[in-house]
Amino acid sequence: MTSPYIIEMKNVSKIYGQHPAVDNISLDIYQGEFLSILGPSGCGKTTTLRMIAGFEYISKGTIMLDGKEASHVPPYQRPVNTVFQNYALFPHMTIFNNIAFGLKRKGMKKQEIKEEVDEMLETMGLEEHRDKYPTQLSGGQQQRVALARALINKPKVLLLDEPLAALDLKLRKKMQFELKRLHKQVGITFIFVTHDQEEALVLSDRIVVMREGEIEQVGTSEEIYKDPLTSYVAQFIGDANVLPTKKNNDGTVSALGYDFPVGKTEEDYHFIIRPEHIELHLSQNKNETDMYQAPITITEITYAGSKQIVEVECMDQTIYIHCSPEQTLSNANIGQKAMMMWKKEHHKILK
Amino acid sequence: MIGKVASRLVIFMLFLFLALPLIVLIATSFTEAGYLSFPPEGFTFKWYLEVLRDTSYLDSFAFSFYLALLATAISIVIGVPTAQILARHDFFGKRLIEMFLSSSLLLPQIVFGVALLQFFSYFVAKPQSFWVLTLGHIVLTLPYIIRTCLASFIGLGKSLEEAGQDLGANRIKTFVFITLPLIKPSVIAGGLFAFAISWINVEVTIFLSASNQMALPVKMFNYVQYNVDPMIAAVSALTIYLAFILIVIIDYFVELENIAAN
């Protein structure tokens, strides 16, 4: 029976001196999925990727690649290839030779290499750059060479270390689309490291959110967005209002005038709500509704094209509300009292 | 405008300052007079012919060339991997090793020559032999290779080497196909320095040479202690020509590669 997983990491740690860069993570990665590892710099995401590639040996735990124990297999014997953050194209080789490098190491015949590389050049739209050197290419073109150079080896897993970070916004969007198409086309597992939550949401089948060397949450884009397990995840993915809560003696915490049961606990909880889940009502009256509501003071209104961002104050807390651009706020004044309302399934009380 | 002219002038003066002694030396080697004279009196090749007729000079040229080549080659073989290790790994005592490897640049070479002679006297019956001499020269030339390559390795970063390994090349193949071609200019530059350092060395060589081994600088040193005539200028001029040809050849190859890479 074949395992549905191409990579299985069990209790993996990477310790530099005293400090664990990756702290006891376990992660199973499916055959053929697009998995993003998301987190701020220093969260251990790149170290995790480098352990899969074999550039860093793991300090503790085990890592299985394609059903085989791989903890001490050197990078050149692993069925994975990497697209590096700075592309790491060989500056002394032509584009053709860059892409052919992996095939040459496999000892393939010259004619076969030529055919395969030329085919890959065509797939990636790089035919005209065949005999150029990397420095003669634009960032986007270098990016495609890096992808071609990795994919031509038909790896079981493609590792991508923030490959879009160096591109400008427009090109980045285009490459995101191309990556997704490429992933469908080749059908192998992509593991994509990024600090850009939007990129992760757009591209991934599943997202791993990391924080300080540990995995905070694993789930689909939708799960991570709609159902964050911690206030850290909520804050990191999309926009979120994260408010402190006050602990009460009866096992509840209060925020915005309401009490929420959490049970007896020592830990601090946060009240979390996304700006697009709040409705703004310009009347000051309490409405007859089963929605939560709280009195607010408008402090700023910003028109941002696809939405209006309203900054309000509620019980000494600053809260952001996203309103649709159609909602008429032209008669709203700065300093005006109003009401905000939200459905009870939309807020979260999280650690 | 004035600034531009002034800076050109400064650069010209600098070149003059560096080149003038060589020009004087070369000019002197063509003098017809029996003593060192500048400007040269007349023009003759007779001092060169005298050098070429004296086989002991040719032997010294050959010996020094062989010695410098060997010391440089061994320094490259030891120095390049050492530099790579120093650039890529952090370990206890790394700074100390780095400084230790450079120490021969700081010590007075004459002290160094005596020290080496004493050191080898403890271990071999005949310390003044070719291999001891080569070893002494390697100690002098190694820092030049390590220092130039170390900078090059650090500048190169490790991601290209990782990319090589990622694409299926083991450490040795990665070194041959990726690392070496990229650091080659530094190896050549360091090698040139190393060769020159070995070629001109008197202080260490004089202590470690056997009587039948006469490196060129030692022979010249011995010669000028007793007589100074234009023949020594011709010998010196010949080494300058040799160095010049060597640099032109290497420059030609390095230049070709730069053109290819761009």
Domains belonging to chain B, first-starting first, are 21-53+227-262 (no CATH), 56-208 (1.10.3720.10)
A9 and A145 part of one domain:
yes
Q: Which residues of B fall within a CB distance of 8 Å from A55?
A: 162, 165-166
Q: Which residues of A touch B170 (CB under 8 A)?
A: 74, 76
* Predicted local distance difference test score (pLDDT) of residue B170: 92
Give tens-digit pLDDT for B19-30: 898 888 898 888
Give me the residue from A91, A105, A135 closest to B168, CB to CB: A105
- Same domain, residue pair A207 and A329: no
The DSSP bridge pattern shows strands A34-38 and A206-211 to be parallel
CA of residue B11 relative to chain centroid, distance = 25
Q: Is A92 on the interface with B (CB under 8 A)?
A: yes
The confidence band for A346, taking pLDDT boundaries of 50, 70 and 90, is confident
Confidence of residue A238 (pLDDT cuts 50, 70, 90): confident
Q: Residue A150: is its pLDDT beyond 90? A: yes
Note the pLDDT of residue A158: 95
* pLDDT given at position B161: 93
Structural domain includes residue A265: no
Q: What is the model's pLDDT at position B257?
A: 60
Among chain B residues, the shortest Cα distance to A75 is held by: B166
Last residue of a domain, which of A235, A253, A287?
A235
Q: Are residues A45 and A184 in the same domain?
A: yes
A116 and A10 in a single domain? The answer is yes
Question: Which of the residue ranges B93-97, B103-107, B137-141, B236-240 would you say has the lowest mean pLDDT?
Answer: B103-107
Quick check: A100 pLDDT over 90?
yes
* CA A43/CA A195 separation, integer angstroms: 10
Disruptive mutation site among A46, A47, A99, A105 for chain B (greatest number of B CBs within 10 Å): A105
Span B39-65, average pLDDT = 87
Residues A122 and A227 in one domain: yes
> For residue range B142-192, what is the model confidence (pLDDT) as tens digits?
999 998 899 889 988 889 999 999 999 999 999 999 999 999 888 988 898
Task: Evaluate whether residue A252 is within a structural domain.
Answer: no
Domain with A287 in it? 272-350
- As a 3-state breakdown, chain B gives helix, strand, coil percent values, each rounded to 5, of 80, 0, 20
- What is the least distance, in Å, from the CA of B261 to any CA of chain A? 6
Q: How many domains does chain A fold into?
A: 2
Packing angle between helix B2-28 and helix B230-261, nearest 10 degrees?
130
Q: How far is A78 from chain B (nearest CA, A)?
A: 8
Ranges of H-type helices in chain A:
45-53, 95-105, 110-123, 139-151, 169-186, 197-203, 221-226, 231-236
Query: Of A207, A235, A263, which marks where a domain is finished?
Result: A235
ipTM of the complex: 0.81
The pLDDT mean for chain A works out to 88
Q: Are residues A84 and A160 in the same domain?
A: yes
Contact A53 B166 (CB under 8 A): yes
For residue A1, the model assigns a pLDDT of 47
- List the CATH number of the domain containing A310: 2.40.50.100
A19 touches chain B (CB under 8 A): no
| Residue B11, pLDDT above cutoff 90 | yes
Looking at residue A82, its pLDDT comes to 94
Q: Flag the least confident range among A19-28, A197-206, A245-254, B25-34.
A: A245-254
φ/ψ region of A13 (left if φ > 0, alpha if ψ in -120 to 50, else beta) reads beta
Specify the pLDDT at position A294.
Answer: 85
- Give yes or no: residues A226 and A319 share one domain: no
Residue type, A156: K
Task: Quote the tokens at residue A3.
Answer: 């395992």
A216 inside domain? yes
Percent of chain A with pLDDT over 90: 42
Residues A8-28 have a mean pLDDT of 90
Q: How large is the average pLDDT for residues A256-278?
A: 82
Interface test with chain B among A56, A77, A92, A103, by most B beta carbons within 10 Å: A92
Within a 13 Å sphere around the CA of B180, how many CA atoms are in the beta-carbon half?
11
Q: A133 pLDDT exceeds 50? A: yes
Is residue A276 domain-shared with residue A231, that is, in the same domain? no
